[in-house]
Chains A and B, each alone.
Chain A
Amino acid sequence: MKLSLGRRPFCCFLSLYVGLSIYPCSLLAGWTVCAAINESNKMKKANKTVKVGISIAGLALASVMSMSAMAGTTLDNVKKKGFVQCGISDGLPGFSYADTKGNFNGFDVDVCKAVAAAIFGDSSKVKYTQLTAKERFTALQSGEVDLLSRSTTWTSSRDGSMGILFAGVAYYDGQGFLVNKKLGVKSAKELNGATFCIQAGTVTELNLADYFRANGLKFTPISFDTSDESFKALESGRCDVLTSDQSQLYGQRLKLSAPNDYAVLPEVISKEPLTTAVRRGDEEWYSVVRWTQIAMLNAEELGVTSKNVGDLVKNTKSPDVARLLGVEGSLGKDLNLPNDWVVKIVSQVGNYGESFDRNLGEGSDMKIKRGLNALWNQGGLQYGPPVR
């Protein structure tokens, strides 16, 4: 049989091209597609459904072939491609925001940078994906991002059924309320019948409903895709109250045109441990992210800062510091990382306290107090397991 192209050479070339470029085996499939189309042209009985079937088959084949190329552990993949793909939020003051030069900064971003510093010794080897609350889990599940550092609350249902693993609590938060001072509300208990702006797909939605059910109050929720949209709606008066994690309220309030017209109510209605997350089924990568965060905490506890880390590596007398910085022991090697990984993290990103102060605390516009996020020996909850 002579293999001549029919009246639709484009279609044939396309399927051949797609087939060949993805997997040599599909050459056969490509040929079949061409021959079949050619044939149906000749026969003048071109059956539309058959053609559609053929093109779907070609596409499906292509996607299957490309899927089988995805293998290996996350850490190896990250090392191979040379950067960490980090999922961050879609613009949240203090946590992740772009500066005037388009560089991302913030408390969440620092975790991404620290992981990159640990692996590559270079905190700039990160690519960021900005995700809305609704998009984040699918992005992590599907492998679009290697790591989610995006103010995500650690809950049992997310841990249990979504195929993700929460690595380490970056920030202990709680849900609060932001209201316009004009309403004259002093407590959340006075909010019966109020309309609330919320970001869709957050535990905030559930906490709000629980709180009002428990207190026998009525409310109307309006859910927006992004946190910016919900703040815009609050400003325009579509809702009376905006509810979100307190850290977000303090941050986003600064973006309003008249921040002083709005007040944060005293009630905190939930526990929100904001945690980094990775995909389930890859403990090696999980440990890297988890110990990166622990290392930053321990660095603060031991007084290792970005300023003195260079000196300490050379002449520390403390065995704890020596182990942390890789002068003694083999923590780095055990994690498949260079042994001086903590030195790179602290010198390029800083310890936990430095990152907090720079982005959220006294060194920032937000002036958030350490509170629950102080170290355990200073009255807070942040506690790094020992390095030994």
Chain B
Amino acid sequence: MQNISHASYKLSLSDPRFRALLFQVVTVVVVLAIGFYLLHNTQTNLQHRGITSGFDFLERSAGFGIAQHLIPYEEANSYARVFLIGLLNTLLVTFIGIVLATLLGFIIGVARLSPNWMINKLATVYVETFRNIPPLLQILFWYFAVFLTLPGPRGSINIEDMFFISNRGLNMPGASMTDGFWPFVVALVLALLAIVLMVRYANKRFETTGEPFHKFWVGLLLFIGIPGVSTLLFGNPVHWEVPQLEGFNFVGGWALIPELLALTLALTIYTAAFIAEIVRSGIRSVSHGQTEAARSLGLREGPTLRKVIIPQALRVIIPPLTSQYLNLAKNSSLAAGIGYPEMVSLFAGTVLNQTGQAIEVIAITMSVYLAISISISLLMNSYNKRIALIER
């Protein structure tokens, strides 16, 4: 076999390179043919059975109400808008979930390594409990056993006449724009610019002279100061509207529905348990010698963790962390069990049922999850590349 590979390319089955190529070509042709056949077959059968196909339904009026919509919605709006609402609701849960789960996960992960017996054991119990209960059960628990057992709106828990907690969710003051809004935004952008410049200057000075600069405190001052001046000059950027109990429900202000709260809480707690383990493994992967070396250079505990351990641990942490983010995004579809109007329950549920166009609706839904997942992984991969070890 060895000497054949050195010989010239033969159009014969005895040539392994030709065989390999032939099989690959055959495979591609077969896959394409089958794909075409399935598509054609589906089309024919749908027509035969009198099932409407195509994407025209997206322009038809939906005609049903939705509990939570981040963009304005009326019953007369189209299915396309319903799709957009479902997508935004999914993204909302995914985004909040990822942020909170990461924070909680890092805290628990570090706590598991704490020399303090109590903190250490609490973190262990947390991880072992929440990691080992199916997420759907946790969602149902938070929804039916926690949020729905709260008192009704008329007997809600009242915090300072501003926040109201009831089985209708959390009602809180809502902001609406006033004249001072845009000056405030401009001031905010200016402040951020100033902070960026300040950090650059501070880093440069630190590199050349070695003198540290109080980046955090100066940054905070800029961040509060510049928008603060704008508020003094142009007035409050927003007007706060306090929720009022009117009839059956609270009116005015912002409302977080219990479905959203239960789902986000359950997913955060569940995913944080996994993230904690990933963080712990990442930190453990940095050898103890690094800590000792940092100590012998005179770094205190905080800077040692932030400047030596975490940057090296991140390289181990990021890839599995990405998987957890993807899991969280996909697990958000479990909301169908508690009636939170996200992609699966709203679009692949209600819309599918009202239109009967299963193939189109499921195809759209699947591509949405694919797109969300790929976006998350692209973001995380580029971040991973940035923090990767650069060998000099």
- Chain B residues in 8 Å Cβ range of A221: 64-67
- Chain B residues in 8 Å Cβ range of A193: 246-249, 251
**Which B184-198 residues have C-beta < 8 A from chain A?**
none
- Chain A residues in 8 Å Cβ range of B218: none
Question: B170 interface residue, CB < 8 Å from A?
Answer: no
Over the window 46-60 of chain B, the binary record of Cβ atoms lying under 8 Å from chain A Cβ atoms (1 yes, 0 no) is: 101111100000000
Question: A200 interface residue, CB < 8 Å from B?
Answer: yes
Question: B26 interface residue, CB < 8 Å from A?
Answer: yes
Closest to A236 in B: B148
Please determine whether A161 and B51 come into contact, CB atoms closer than 8 angstroms: yes
Please determine whether A194 and B247 come into contact, CB atoms closer than 8 angstroms: yes
Closest to A205 in B: B64
Question: A269 interface residue, CB < 8 Å from B?
Answer: no
- Chain A residues in 8 Å Cβ range of B319: none
Question: B125 interface residue, CB < 8 Å from A?
Answer: no
> Knowing A163-B51, A240-B248 touch, does A209 contact B356 (C-beta < 8 A)?
no
Please determine whether B63 and A206 come into contact, CB atoms closer than 8 angstroms: yes
> Knowing A163-B50, A201-B353, A281-B49 touch, does A223 contact B148 (C-beta < 8 A)?
no
Query: What CA separation (Å) do A200 and B345 show in the bound complex?
Result: 8
Most buried by A among B247, B251, B358: B247
Contact of B67 among A29, A57, A222 (CB under 8 A): A222
Query: What CA separation (Å) do A247 and B30 show in the bound complex?
Result: 54
Interface size on B, residues (CB 8 A): 61
Segment touching B, from A31-39, A73-81, A110-118? A31-39
Contact of B247 among A47, A192, A209 (CB under 8 A): A192
Please determine whether B37 and A64 come into contact, CB atoms closer than 8 angstroms: yes
Interface residue SS majority, chain B: helix
Contact of B19 among A39, A157, A222, A240 (CB under 8 A): A39
Query: What CA separation (Å) do A191 and B65 show in the bound complex?
Result: 15
Question: A367 interface residue, CB < 8 Å from B?
Answer: no
- Chain A residues in 8 Å Cβ range of B37: 64
Question: A265 interface residue, CB < 8 Å from B?
Answer: no
Segment touching A, from B101-109, B171-179, B335-343? B335-343
Please determine whether A161 and B49 come into contact, CB atoms closer than 8 angstroms: no
Contact of B65 among A39, A134, A219 (CB under 8 A): A219
- Chain A residues in 8 Å Cβ range of B339: 200, 222-225, 229, 233
- Chain B residues in 8 Å Cβ range of A319: none
Please determine whether B168 and A161 come into contact, CB atoms closer than 8 angstroms: no
**Which A197-227 residues have C-beta < 8 A from chain B?**
200-202, 205-206, 208-210, 212-213, 219-225
Would you mind naming 9 contact pairs between A and B with Cβ atoms under 8 Å apart?
A: A39-B20, A157-B356, A161-B357, A195-B249, A221-B64, A225-B337, A225-B345, A232-B144, A238-B258
Q: A43-B17, A133-B353, A161-B50 are in contact. List 15 more A-B contacts (CB 8 A).
A: A32-B26, A40-B23, A43-B16, A43-B20, A45-B20, A53-B27, A57-B27, A61-B34, A64-B38, A137-B358, A193-B247, A193-B249, A195-B248, A195-B249, A232-B144
Spell out B's residues near A (CB within 8 Å): 1, 13-14, 16-17, 19-20, 23-24, 26-28, 30-31, 34-35, 37-38, 41, 46, 48-52, 63-67, 75-76, 144, 148-149, 151-152, 167-168, 246-249, 251, 258-259, 336-339, 341, 345, 349-350, 352-358
